[in-house]
């Protein structure tokens, strides 16, 4: 099978597309193609404009280029969570989407081998036996047995069969990139699910802590009520806060269990919500650089797969056009014929034949030309889809880079908010115990502190999640690299 080194290709994708689209003019059949317009030697003007606008990267770099032009190739281990690395390894080995993608890749390899086999002769061995009774005593019954090989071969006069075989090879390369994309996606989903589970556990712990805080406030309020220092309304407000905290803890447990089940499903485990989470989120590693925008064409497996399918579709247009040309077929067989069993192995009974046939399509109701038009329309569709994929890839990286800055600002502000809220809560708790503050002031301070800490946990998790999204948008490093061909 032909193997294509995607990373060695030029990043000038516009020129590459033009080359791909000109595949339908690659055969030396100009004399036989008079009157057949090669509409895809250059993309039509609107399509070319859309491709140009989509794949031309902006002039400035995204950020300063890091060594290797990537923040890190093994970004999972760089996140500093040993349990996460183990979970990603487990997911890549067991996840149903990954194993299904690998099976599709293996199926495409087999299909490519089958398409390439058409370049060789077909040899088969067959036999036929018959018995004839005439119902007349003067004419004896007869037996006939025929055994022997038969060979057929279509010389590839116009390169039609070779084009189909090459299209199969390229489709196998596209499936290989699909497999890499599935691995990358599952690695990202596993990392996101792990961070979600840690966040859920931290929020649950916070909710349980809040329940305990509200319960202490209720006991204090009851003592003050029994001493005649506050009214019954304060007790009811304190009880309401306890019930709200209990409801929040129940929601937190539901969120934790759902997060655990989601991760367990990715790992192909039964979703029993038994997976334990880490006690804290890992620190976010520094981002050194992500390289130039054009680098994503050599990194992202989904774009590599789309490029391969553009090439394969160009070859299919070739095949459809060459179906309009004559075909030459050679066939031969050698049979051992016998009128009775005793002559079955008599060499004199050998009969050999060789037949050559030349057929040319004359009228099939326009089916062949319609097939050409269908494949050309499919190529136009794939071009537009590819342009949209490229724009989407740029969008994902730009959004992730912008979020790097905004989420850091958000986290810094939330840390200040939490610190101030905790100090205010401590001060008001003292003043309430001394009878110098109301229950409403205390409950408001406690609520602000809880909300600030909850928001900070979510912001920290979101920064980690955004970093994962950035790595996925850039192609995923070693998780997005194309795997070696199976032996």
Q: What is the per-residue pLDDT across 19-39, written as a single tens digit (0 to 9) for each?
A: 333 333 333 223 323 333 333
Instruction: Calculate the alpha carbon distances from 144 to 114, 135, 148, 150 in Å.
Output: 36, 17, 14, 18
Give the C-alpha separation, 393 to 279, whole Å.
Answer: 34
Cβ(381)–Cβ(361) under 8 Å?
A: no
Q: 483: phi > 0 → left, psi -120 to 50 → alpha, else beta; which? A: beta
Give the C-alpha separation, 409 to 463, whole Å.
Answer: 11
Residue labelled with tokens 């009774």: 133
What pTM did the predictor assign? 0.80
- Summarised one tens digit per residue, pLDDT across range 406-453 is 999 999 999 999 999 999 999 999 998 888 999 999 999 999 999 999
- Summarised one tens digit per residue, pLDDT across range 218-230 is 999 999 899 888 8
Choices 1.20.1600.10, 3.40.50.12780, 3.40.50.300, 1.10.3720.10: CATH for 6-118+154-325+360-479: 1.20.1600.10
H or E stretch covering 176: helix 160-226
**How many other C-beta atoms lie within 10 A of the C-beta of residue 168?**
24
Cβ(42)–Cβ(18) under 8 Å?
A: yes
Cβ(335)–Cβ(347) under 8 Å?
A: no
Give the C-alpha separation, 280 to 195, whole Å.
Answer: 9
What is the secondary structure of 93-150 as a DSSP string? HH-HHHHHHHHHHHHHHHHHHHHHHTTS-EEEEEEEEEEE--S-TTS--EEEEEEEEE
Instruction: Calculate the alpha carbon distances from 109 to 2, 246, 316, 337 in Å.
Output: 11, 57, 18, 41
Q: What is the pLDDT of residue 463?
A: 96
Residues 6+ apart with CB under 8 A from 57: 292, 293, 294, 394
Question: pLDDT grade, residue 208 (50/70/90)?
Answer: very high
pLDDT at 137 over 80: no
């Amino acid at each position: 099978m032909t193997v294509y080194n995607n990373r060695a290709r030029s990043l000038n994708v516009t020129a590459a597309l033009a080359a791909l689209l000109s595949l339908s003019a690659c055969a030396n059949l100009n004399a036989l193609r008079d009157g057949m317009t090669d509409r895809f030697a250059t993309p039509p003007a609107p399509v070319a404009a859309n491709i140009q606008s989509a794949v031309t990267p902006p002039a400035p770099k995204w950020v300063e280029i890091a060594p290797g032009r990537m923040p890190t190739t093994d970004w999972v281990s760089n996140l500093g969570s040993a349990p996460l690395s183990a979970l990603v390894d487990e997911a890549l080995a067991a996840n149903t989407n990954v194993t299904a993608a690998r099976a599709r890749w293996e199926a495409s390899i087999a299909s490519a081998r089958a398409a390439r086999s058409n370049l060789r002769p077909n040899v088969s061995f067959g036999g036929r036996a018959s018995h004839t009774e005439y119902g007349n005593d003067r004419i004896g019954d007869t037996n006939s047995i025929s055994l022997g090989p038969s060979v057929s071969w279509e010389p590839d006069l116009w390169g039609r069969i070779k084009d189909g075989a090459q299209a199969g090879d390229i489709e196998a390369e596209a499936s290989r990139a699909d497999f890499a994309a599935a691995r990358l996606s599952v690695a990202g989903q596993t990392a996101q699910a792990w961070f979600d589970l840690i966040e859920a556990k931290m929020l649950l712990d916070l909710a349980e802590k809040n329940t305990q805080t509200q319960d202490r406030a209720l006991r204090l309020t009851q003592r003050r009520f029994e001493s005649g220092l506050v009214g019954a309304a304060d007790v009811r407000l304190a009880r309401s806060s306890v019930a709200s905290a209990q409801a929040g803890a129940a929601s937190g447990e539901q969120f934790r269990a759902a997060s655990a089940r989601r991760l367990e499903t990715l790992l192909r485990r039964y979703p029993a919500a038994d997976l334990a989470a880490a006690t804290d989120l890992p620190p976010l590693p520094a981002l050194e650089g992500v390289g130039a925008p054009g680098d994503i064409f050599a990194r992202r497996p989904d774009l590599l797969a789309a490029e391969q399918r553009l090439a394969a579709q160009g070859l299919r247009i070739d095949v459809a056009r060459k179906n309009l040309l004559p075909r030459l077929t050679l066939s031969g067989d050698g049979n051992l014929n016998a009128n009775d069993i005793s002559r079955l192995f008599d060499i004199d009974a050998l009969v050999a034949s060789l037949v050559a046939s030349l057929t040319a399509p004359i009228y099939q109701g326009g089916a062949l030309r319609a097939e050409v038009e269908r494949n050309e329309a499919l190529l136009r569709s794939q071009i537009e889809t590819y342009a949209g994929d490229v724009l989407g890839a740029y969008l994902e990286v730009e959004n992730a880079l912008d979020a790097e800055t905004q989420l850091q600002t958000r986290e810094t502000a939330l840390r200040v908010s939490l610190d101030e809220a905790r100090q205010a809560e401590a001060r008001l708790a003292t003043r309430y115990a001394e009878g110098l503050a109301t229950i409403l002031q205390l409950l408001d301070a406690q609520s602000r502190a809880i909300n600030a800490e909850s928001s900070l946990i979510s912001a920290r998790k979101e920064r980690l999640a955004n970093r994962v999204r950035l790595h996925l948008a850039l192609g995923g490093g070693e998780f997005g690299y194309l795997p070696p061909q199976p032996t």
